[in-house]
Structures are given as structure tokens and as C-alpha cells.
């Protein structure tokens, strides 16, 4: 059970900058920057059933690569700024006041980026929690296994098979 009601103000939140290149220990070339400021409002580690996170994307960045979730659904509320949402149907402009719902599975594939040269894109991300999650990255043929306590994350090439019983 949650210990208390959480109240967090977007303007006074304590954001942490996350550079995905550093977080993933990646030294290769990237087509774009994956950098964001985030403030985790609630999560299972705080006794809640939902992950609620505030994000602020600096100009010319994306939060995460194009992906979809096997189990989790996500809801995004654009608080300020404007961005581009990539989906299986193409790209769509989004702006302040828009609510985006990404269902689980291939039809929910998404990527949110900030094309602005000067203003941040600020949004609220709410998703249901699971002890572990599998995300798929269709553009690069990867699958990523994650436990949401942050103890395990592993990326795999989808076309690289290993027999279930190999090495047992």
C-alpha cells in the first residue's frame, strides 16, 4: 500500500538529467541525442501501482528510441512545448494539452521527440507497472528485458536465437 498521497509540481520538481548514451555505456555513433530531464513521481518502489514520471526534453532531443511494450500501456500528457510523435502510421505533431495513449503491442509503438531549436517539451508519462517488461525496437531489431527496480536490463537482437535448453 502507498504510504501517502504524492503531490509534485511540474515547475518545482527535482529533475535528474539522463543521457542515454552514458546510462547505456554506449560509445558508438547515434543518429540523434537521447537526453531528457526526469522526475519520478511514483513507482512500485514507493508503494504505488503506477509509474508516474515528469519529463522535460531539451531542444533537438528524443526521450527514448522508437519502441513498444509487450505488457505496459502508456499515457502521455503534453504540459508545454510541442513535439513529434512517431507511430506505426507515421509522424504526428503534438502540443500543449494533447493526451496520447500508447496501447501495449505493435500498434502502440512510439517515439516522442522535441524538434524545437529553443523550447523544452514537457510531458507527464503514466504507465502501469509490472515486475519485468519486454520492449521491442522495430527499427533496429532489438528486444530489451528490464526489471523496473533497475537491477536488470539486457538488450538482444531478435534474429539471434538460442535454444531454451542450451547449456542446461
Closest CA to 35 of 54, 65, 62: 62
State residue 66's pLDDT score: 96
Number of domains in the chain: 1
| pLDDT tens-place string over residues 116-125 | 999 999 999 9
CATH for 95: 2.60.120.10
State residue 32's pLDDT score: 86
Output phi, psi for 78, to 5 deg.
-80, 115
Going from the C-alpha of 31 to that of each of 60, 90, 113, the distances in angstroms are 12, 18, 13
Three-state secondary-structure class, residue 137: strand
In a domain, 114, yes or no: yes
Domain limits for position 65: 16-130
pLDDT of residue 151 exceeding 90, the answer is no
In a domain, 165, yes or no: no
Enter the C-alpha cell of residue 128: 502501469
Residue 129 CB: number of other CB atoms within 10 A? 16
| pLDDT tens-place string over residues 17-39 | 998 888 888 888 888 889 999 99
Name the band, by pLDDT with cuts 50, 70 and 90, for residue 1. Answer: low
State residue 85's pLDDT score: 98
In a domain, 123, yes or no: yes
133 close to 69: Cβ distance less than 8 angstroms: yes
| pLDDT tens-place string over residues 59-112 | 999 999 999 999 999 999 999 999 999 999 999 999 999 999 999 999 999 999
99-120 burial, b for 16+ CB within 10 Å, e for fewer? ebebebeeebbbbbbbebeeeb
Name the band, by pLDDT with cuts 50, 70 and 90, for residue 15. Answer: very high
Enter the C-alpha cell of residue 108: 502502440
Amino acid at each position: 500500500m502507498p504510504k501517502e498521497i504524492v503531490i509534485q509540481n511540474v515547475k518545482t520538481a527535482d529533475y535528474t538529467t539522463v543521457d542515454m548514451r552514458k546510462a547505456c555505456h554506449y560509445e558508438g555513433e547515434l543518429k540523434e541525442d537521447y537526453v531528457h530531464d526526469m522526475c519520478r513521481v511514483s513507482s512500485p518502489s514507493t508503494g504505488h501501482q503506477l509509474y508516474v514520471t515528469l519529463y522535460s526534453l531539451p531542444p533537438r532531443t528524443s526521450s527514448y528510441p522508437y519502441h513498444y511494450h509487450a505488457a505496459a500501456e502508456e499515457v502521455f500528457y503534453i504540459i508545454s512545448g510541442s513535439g513529434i510523435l512517431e507511430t506505426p502510421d507515421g509522424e504526428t505533431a503534438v502540443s500543449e494539452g494533447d493526451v496520447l495513449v500508447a496501447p501495449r503491442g505493435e500498434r502502440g509503438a512510439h517515439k516522442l521527440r522535441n524538434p524545437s531549436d529553443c523550447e523544452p517539451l514537457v510531458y507527464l508519462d503514466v504507465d502501469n507497472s509490472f515486475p519485468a517488461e519486454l520492449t521491442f525496437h522495430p527499427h533496429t531489431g532489438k528486444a530489451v528485458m528490464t526489471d523496473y527496480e533497475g537491477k536488470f536490463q539486457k538488450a538482444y537482437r531478435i534474429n539471434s536465437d538460442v535454444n531454451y535448453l542450451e547449456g542446461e
